Structure 1
């Protein structure tokens, strides 16, 4: 069976987890725009406050930081800081051919930790809560990376 085939349950597990994480990250851009349009604020560039159909009453105040919009931007930045590591580490990990059960626990565990991290950040939970959820995902990445190194360095 080809390792990079959807007939391979390891690759399918990775593909599902990766797609969920990619979609989640992309949705943050959409959520940012929705929030900006809701409050007509949190814009970033001077040209954003020109009069248009979507912004009929522009104001320089629209360029001021807006916590409602910036919270989503911070969540997205956190995704962009973490997602590439997951995509690479997860892909290399499945190439080591671990058991399907282990791969599912780790890959889906990472997805769950990131979705819970999003929920905690979105609802303004304490840093301790977010840090705990981030740590779970980080430890999964460390485990998968060390596993891959061990397999790759084995004679």
Structure 2
């Protein structure tokens, strides 16, 4: 544990990881708020509490928010693993910070583009940029550990 806390790269990774978790919480809150505003509840008991079973339904705006949140989980969770392992390989702090910042900014832009239904290719470019950072970290991990295999 002391190695991780004293490791500047890991501390940088932890900083961006916490920001990503906060961003995921914000998306969850937005989804809940849109559900309430649109009266579109996934569970019958929630619909009953907010006006009746007719509100146990899907809504395109709620689904858009939900898909953005799911996409975050599909992409940020692997980043947590890759970033942790990458941090242990002894990369340059500057290069590591760039990886983490690019991924973070890509995911923020992706969420904004998703929620605002921005025209192509904004969302796709944001996704690709974030994935390039992850792919680069993965390659560097493989190269580093292959030397010891």
TM-score by length of 2: 0.92
Partner of 1:80: 73
> Over residues 18-39 of structure 1, what are the superposed CA-to-partner deviations in whole Å (9 max), with x where a residue is unaligned?
1011111122221111111122
Q: Does 1:58 align with 2:86?
A: no
CA distance in 2, matches of 1:106, 1:31: 27
Kindly indicate which of the two structures has a greater share of residues assigned to helix: 2
Report the Cα offset of residue 46 of structure 1.
Answer: 2.1
Partner of 2:3: 3
| Partners of 1:117 and 1:133 within 8 A in 2 | yes
Q: Which moved more, 1:104-113 or 1:63-72?
A: 63-72
Report the Cα offset of residue 122 of structure 1.
Answer: 1.3
Question: What is the number of residues matched between the two proteins?
Answer: 147
Moved over 4 A (4+): none
Consecutive unaligned residues in structure 2, runs of 5 or more:
none
Q: Does 1:120 align with 2:113?
A: yes
| Partners of 1:3 and 1:11 within 8 A in 2 | no
| Partners of 2:44 and 2:53 within 8 A in 1 | no
Partner of 2:16: 17
